[in-house]
A = this chain, B = another copy of it.
Amino acid sequence: MPQPRTHRDTAANRPGSPPAAGGPPRAHAIRAAALELFTQRGYAATTMADIGAAVGVRGPSLYKHVSSKQALLAQIMTGTMDALLAAHRTAVAGTEDPTERLRRATEAHVRYHARHRLEAFVGNREIRSLEEPHRTAVLARRDAYEKAFRELVEAGIAAGRFHVASARLASYAILDLGMGVAVWYREDGELTEDQIVYQYGDFALLLVGAG
């Protein structure tokens, strides 16, 4: 028999807690816990009770803050894709030089996958767990992102600055490099974020035969 339970008085529980940007703080903590668990175990293998336990609450209590497990995933995935696209646009906005544009886009890509590795990891792997209409929406953004990179490479080829047989293959390769970072990067690893970012930027230019 479970013992009788009374209310817990955690820091996040107290109404006096610091009001965070981006919605109620509790909902934010739940999304963060879900993100971690989705990364570790996968969406299907994560239960609402697991997520609840991670924030010090029973499974059903989560429904006071989020509408469903699927909504939790959808928020994570669409937010991630939007952030990635925004980072890309900012990166390429500053210059018209093809080499510099590709370098900056690659650096932004890799930096995002290192700094937000959980989001990027889940964003890449759980597309199949997303139900419609969110899946279509996320896939559309993914395609747009991929296309943007491919066009960057094509522009460099057209300008005679890049020398590579297939723009498609080169852009896939660069994108895959970044996604790999989200898999193995650790903040306490032997390579710093900047080291990886700059090195991978160089790799991208080598791949397309620039300079």
Contact = CB atoms under 8 A, between A and B. Distances in A.
Contacts of A180: 172-173, 175-176, 179-180
Given A191-B169, A199-B169, A42 B129 contact: yes
Contacts of A44: 42, 44-45
Contact of A191 (B166, B175, B191, B199): B166
Chain A contact residues: over half helix, strand or loop, or mixed? helix
Interface string A177-204: 1011101100000110001100110010
The quantity of this chain's copies bound in the complex is 2
A82 B107 CA distance: 35
Contact of A206 (B168, B195, B206): B206
A177 B173 CA distance: 6
A173 B200 contact: yes
Contacts of A207: 203, 206-207
Nearest to A200: B173
A194 B108 CA distance: 31
A44 B128 CA distance: 12
A195 B173 CA distance: 14
Contacts of A206: 206-207, 209
Contact of A184 (B41, B172, B195, B203): B172
B179 A166 contact: no
Contacts of A200: 169, 173
Interface of A: 40-42, 44-45, 125, 128-129, 165-166, 168-169, 172-173, 175-177, 179-181, 183-184, 190-191, 195-196, 199-200, 203, 206-207, 209
Given A173-B203, A180-B180, A203-B207, 4 more contacts: A42-B129, A169-B196, A169-B200, A176-B183
Interface pairs A-B: 6 shortest CB-CB: A176-B180, A44-B44, A206-B206, A44-B45, A203-B207, A173-B177
